[in-house]
Structure 1
Amino acid sequence: MLNWTLLLVSASAMFFLSWLSMRASGDKDESGFLVANNSLGPFVAAATIIATGYSGFVFMGAPGVAYQYGSFELYSNVFYTPAFLVATVFFAGFLRRKAQRMGSRTISEYIANSHSDGAAGRWLRAISAIIIVLLLSVFLVSQIRAIGLLMSGWLGVSSNTAALFVTLLVIGYTIFGGLRAVAWTDTVMIIGMVGASCAIAYVVFVQVGGGDLIASLHSIDPELANPSTGAPYGDSTLSSFLVLPYAFMWAAVLPYMSVRFLAIKKDVSMARVGIWVAIFGLLLNFTPLAGLYARAYFPDLGTPDLAMPTFIQDAFGPVMASVITLFILFAMKSTANSLMHTISTAISYDIRHALGVKSGFFSRMGFNRLMVIAVGVMAFFAMAYLPPVMVLWLGVLGNGTLMASLFGVSLCSTFWQGNSAGALASIVTGFATSAFVLLGTDWGWVQGPLLGCVVSAVTYVSVSLLTREPAGKVATESPLG
């Protein structure tokens, strides 16, 4: 009863915030739904960036990886904060200013406007939007699965029932106010997420003792306490440094992250946003400790992704366990609503415009909201038939491959302008490279996406140079053709 009460009270609060955001943006204002009318201040912007980035993969995936591979995940997790900080302070401003000059409301629209305003631009917009839909749907499925695993024991229902309930809940408050609703609810959620992370640190360092935990891990397997490899990120322990560029490109390239940069007010200093990003990020770096605790005292779990629920049940009393679980659900819901918003936007706005449909029912807010419902329902049914797989790996597959696909046309194009041929080629080669390495080789989890980003950038520049029209060609042509 306590758990259900907490969930319903928090759900009511989320719906109320979403309703307020709808009133603030206007029911018929598509700009409000897509980019919150460029109204986010530094605190809210930082809150939604971190709440979205530090999501189910941090609270469920990272403890699962720590349970499976040991303390190396704790070292690797530290690099997310500086990566997000660099992306916010040194890249977000360029992207925001360029997008505002071109009137771009989504990343696919930004990509198309940057490279062509004709048929090639529409093709580019459609292809990038379709890839966003496919790959972010993979990540959304992993988020819903993580939610189901965590909530099943908490509410005393099956994982599918729990996932369905929260999926409907997230759909409900996302359809009201679009990105503004997502950002406002994320701001509430980040407070709970920070509280949960600090509670984990208190249990491990104060109640248990870091030394005792390491000794317990060492008695099970010395590799857990002092890893000699960088698994699952690579063979060398230096592989942890690969997380830094990976996380930077995560924040800068992935559409559901970078669209938040477009929503920040024009007069807001990105340095002020960066300060809050650093504070939130540093306070959320304790979550892998829960996985180490679970491995030390519960070494025979059926799946590593049960590490966090097991830790919560053992480390806290009933009331505190319920509150901490609710805060962790906040983390996963913050990313789920962002993914639903981004995927539905790609369908209802980018693909629609690429097809030339700019009027009628399909151009109204009702269609945007209908797509949110369709995306959420699709993701739930996909999750129900998902074979056993680690949540974090599934997230890497979707996010990493999308990151490699869009690296050239989003990050590189901000600093060096290519053409539509280079953009199309870089999307295809980045996608193929990352997908092949992740699915067809035994390389580490970050190597495939990073290699895909390199291939995407090289392809973008080289193909653009090879297909660029010679200087002066247009000027020497006859006006009659």
Structure 2
Amino acid sequence: MGSVVFWSWVLLIVFVVMMMFFGVMGMKRTHNNDDFATARSSYGPITIALVIAAGISSGSTFMGMPGLAFDLGAPSLWYPLLYPVATVFGMLFFAKAIKDYGDKLGTRTIPEFIGNRYNSDFLRVVLAIISALLIFYVISQLVAAATMFQIMMGVDYKVGILITIIVIGAYVFMGGSHSDILTDAVQGMLMVLIAVVVVACFITAFGTGGGFGEMIQTIQERRPEGHFGKLFIPGDETYGSLWLVLLLFIAHIPFAIQPHLGNKFMAVKSSRDLKKLLMWTTVFATILPLMGLGGMLAIAVLPGDIDIRPDAVIPTLFTELFPPFIAAFLAIAVLSAVMSTSDGLVVSLTQLVANDLFRLSIVPRLNISQKKAERIELNISRVGTPIVLIIAGLVALNPPQYLSIFMWIGIGGIVSSTAGPLVIGSLWKRANKTSAIISLLVGTAAYWILYLPFGFDISNPFAAAGLGVIISMVTMIISVLITTKKNEDNITEVLENK
């Protein structure tokens, strides 16, 4: 019948061929850098919902969160329980604004959107620089992929990183956002399937040798500090109290404004599709984080004295529970979770240079034709793809303890800087450039002052980001009240000047 390693390689080849096929399809649809950056108005709401849900979930949801559950127990399930609710809730505030601005002004990235919204090159450039923190996110995805290769296919961890870089780099290089969306939609369907399988295994206590009640009892015996009767872990930096969990929720409200997610709103065919998009995103984004239950199941299934890195628990569990072919298939589905986020991140990072810096800041100062500028911009996007992956791969050679926490070092800085200008600015026409600049600077400073060791003792990026988001939005509101007049409409004024 073949081993897990054999079937993993067979299915990996099939998976890679399929991704390359979609890469070629994406290349055929990519005629300029706007196509590469946004795939503007090209896809239906269910397709984009799968893409956004897959991008939200990533290797962190499919490996990091089960790892936290396996290591810390039930209190860590606050994370997968709350983050999809907070993320979709945040989308209600700014999805329409991003889509409308994108269609009217040709906006390609989130930094460009904020720069246009406030008619400020300063905001665009500063946010583009801050958004480079997404590299932490890319690194975490490469670590997750390499771990899968190591456990399921028996390859060296470093070789796993190299394979991931080559595969993602190839299809993103070809078709940019079109390849990203086409591959992520397929990967998203695989991810929904595997999450459903894991939930079914948990409910039936599959592999434990007993019923559901006996599984819960085993979990309580092996994790007395983290069984299902425990809501919090006293003294824990992330799950130690209701206040810390609330900050985790708040930190995720602006989560979808990250460049690799926010630009997906521009790809949906029409603003009329946004309600359907949000509905389907809610469905998919709620199912995928149930992967965390896999970590709780592993406590009961795997030997109590097993010594594995927490983020490796899911591939280890699959090998224990299923015949080789099924285990290999599920492993490839987890690998798709990693790639579905990585490709979007890479496209977004290349656009920080190609669009936000070159096209919008440098081209206006050069005496070159628009056609030549467009060609150079597309080349920057494509050449930037392997550069981003190589930089992330070098850092990923030394994996962090917890992927879910590591990637939030960068995300925390981004959401803290953009929460005020984007969330408040999308809702309040009175919001102006001055208030946005103040909010961005204060939110950014607050996050790093709180997170870095300056005496505040907040080494949890979720808590630092949650406080940063609150400070950013409160600062924005106060600044708007001080610097503008009642009923002032700065959105209409900006649009008229464009």
1:36-63 deviations in whole A, cap 9, x for unaligned? 0221211111011101001111011101
Sort the Cα spacing of 1:193 and 1:232 in 2 relative to 1 into closer, same or farther, 3 A: farther
Counterpart-to-counterpart distance in 2, 1:269 and 1:303: 42
Letter in 2 for 1:194: V
Query: What is residue 110 of structure 2 aligned with on the other side?
Result: 107
From 156, 170, 181, the counterpart of 1:172: 170
CA shift, 1:445, in A, is: 4.4
* 1:296-320 Cα deviation digits (max 9, x unpaired): 3344424222222221221212111
Matched, 1:282 2:286: yes
**Separation in 1, partners of 2:487, 2:329:** 64
Q: Deviations over 1:134-178 (max 9, x none)?
A: x10011111111111121122211111101111111011112221
Structure 1 window deviating more from structure 2 (224-233 vs 329-338): it is 224-233
Counterpart CA distance in 2 for 1:401 and 1:73 is 22
One-letter amino acid of the structure 1 residue matched with residue 253 of structure 2? F
- Cα RMSD for the two superposed structures: 2.5
Is 1:62–1:288's contact at 8 Å kept on the other side of the alignment?
yes
Match of 2:148 in 1: 150
Find the aligned partners of 2:76 and 2:334 in 1 and give their Cα distance: 19
Q: 2:10 aligns with which of 5, 14, 18?
A: 5
Q: Deviations over 1:175-211 (max 9, x none)?
A: 2221121111111001111111122122222224432
1:293–1:180 CA distance, 2 compared to 1 (3 A) = same
Give distance in 2, aligned partners of 1:266 and 1:179.
17
Amino acid at match of 1:81: P
Indicate the larger mover: 364-373 or 318-327. Answer: 364-373
| Counterpart position of 1:223 | 225
Query: Is the contact made by 2:27 and 2:175 (CA closer than 8 Å) also made in structure 1?
Result: yes
Greater shift after overlay, 291-300 or 319-328? 291-300
Q: Alignment partner for residue 296 of structure 2, among 292, 306, 309?
A: 292
Residues 75-86 of structure 1 mapped to structure 2, 5 A cutoff: 75-86=78-89
Residue 460, structure 1, aligned to residue 476, structure 2? yes
The runs of 5 or more residues in structure 1 that have no matched partner are 473-481
1:49 and 2:52 matched: yes
Higher mean C-alpha deviation, range 97-106 or range 394-403:
97-106
Pair 1:14-2:57 in alignment: no
- Cα separation, 1, equivalents of 2:464 and 2:78: 21
**Equivalent position of 1:197 in the other structure:** 195
Match of 2:425 in 1: 413
Cα deviation 1:446-480 (Å, max 9, x = unaligned) = 221111012212333444555569999xxxxxxxx
SS at match of 2:226: helix
1:405 and 1:210 map into 2 onto residues whose CA distance is 45
- 1:278–1:460 Cα change, 3 Å: closer
The aligned counterpart of 1:130 is 129
Q: CA deviation at 1:295?
A: 3.0
Tell me the residue number matched to 2:69.
66
User: Contact 1:83/1:248 (CA < 8 Å) preserved in 2?
Assistant: yes
Q: 1:449 aligns with which of 462, 465, 479?
A: 465
Unaligned 5+ runs, structure 2 = 1-5, 489-498
Structure-2 separation of matches of 1:55 and 1:388: 16
Counterparts of 2:399 and 2:387 in 1: how far apart (Å)? 22
Q: Secondary structure at the match of 1:38?
A: coil
TM-aligned CA deviation for residue 215 of structure 1: 1.0
Q: Secondary structure at the match of 1:78?
A: helix
Residue pair 2:139, 2:396 contacting (<8 A) in 1 also: yes
1:11 Cα deviation after fit: 1.0
Which residue identity is paired with 1:429?
A: V
Note the C-alpha offset of 1:277: 1.5
1:475 aligned residue: none
1:427 has 2:464 as partner: no
Distance 2:272 2:403 in 1: 36
2:337 to 331, 336, 340: 331
Does 2:333 correspond to 1:321? no
In structure 2, the residue matched to 1:397 is 409
C-alpha contact 1:234 1:443 (8 A) present in aligned 2: no
Report if the CA contact (8 A) 1:163-1:380 is conserved. yes
The range that moved more, 6-15 or 75-84, is: 75-84
Could you state the TM-score of these two structures normalised by the residue count of structure 2? 0.86
Q: Secondary structure at the match of 1:286?
A: helix
Partner of 2:3: none
389-398 vs 204-213, which moves further:
204-213
Structure 1 residues 444 and 366: alpha-carbon distance in aligned structure 2, compared to 1, 3 A threshold: closer
Q: Which amino acid aligns with 1:460?
A: M
Separation in 2, partners of 1:336, 1:270: 24
Q: Is the 8 A contact 2:238 2:245 kept in 1?
A: yes
Q: Which residue type is aligned with residue 386 of structure 2?
A: I
How far apart, in 2, do the equivalents of 1:446 and 1:13 lie?
36
- How far does the alpha carbon of each residue in 1:226-267 deviate from its partner, in whole angstroms, 9 at most, with x for none? 22525453422465454443333212x222111111221125
1:313–1:436: structure 2 CA closer, same or farther, 3 Å change rule?
farther
Which residue identity lines up with residue 363 of structure 1 in the other structure?
Answer: I
Q: Quick one: distance in 2 between partners of 1:215 and 1:268?
A: 50
1:163 pairs, out of 156, 161, 164, with 161
How many equivalent pairs are there? 463
**1:371, distance to aligned residue in structure 2 (A):** 1.0
Give the match's secondary structure for 1:356.
Answer: helix
CA distance in 2, matches of 1:471, 1:96: 24
Equivalent residue, structure 2, for 1:477: none
Q: Is the CA contact (8 Å cut-off) linking 1:232 and 1:445 kept in structure 2?
A: no
CA distance in 1, matches of 2:487, 2:451: 41
Whether contact under 8 Å (1:233, 1:240) holds in the other structure is yes
- Asked whether 1:91 is paired with 2:103, we answer no
Say whether 1:211 aligns with 2:216.
no
Contact 2:350 2:380 (C-alpha < 8 Å) held by counterparts = no
Correspondences of 1:303-322 after superposition (within 5 Å): 303-322=309-328
Q: 1:364 and 1:241, CA in 2 relative to 1: closer, same or farther beyond 3 A?
A: closer
